[in-house]
Amino acid sequence: MGNFKILTFTMTDTPVKKNIFYRVFYFYYDGFKSMTVGKQLWIIIIIKLFIMFAILKVLFFPDLLKEKFKTDRERGDYVIEQLSKSH
């Protein structure tokens, strides 16, 4: 019963608009606004994604095609050659 009152309260705070994008935005906005533990978890997730995509990519996945070849044409030819090799 208590959860129903909280849900009713958050739904009445959202402005009544017929635009679906506006209603979806306020649905998530109210959800994030009422989070307590979830905010900290989202911060941890964002930090982990930043580390994975920004730092680890630079350190462990260098752009080999840019290092080996100077032009896009050479890179394209190399990729086509590697893909069309028959084993």
pLDDT digits (tens, 9 = 90+) for 43-62: 999 999 999 888 888 888 88
Torsion of CA 3, 6, 11, 13, to 10 degrees: 180
How many whole angstroms separate alpha carbon 44 and alpha carbon 17? 33
- CB-based contact 27:16 (threshold 8 Å): no
With a cut of 50, which residues of the chain have pLDDT below it? 1-2, 4-5, 7-9
pTM of the full structure? 0.43
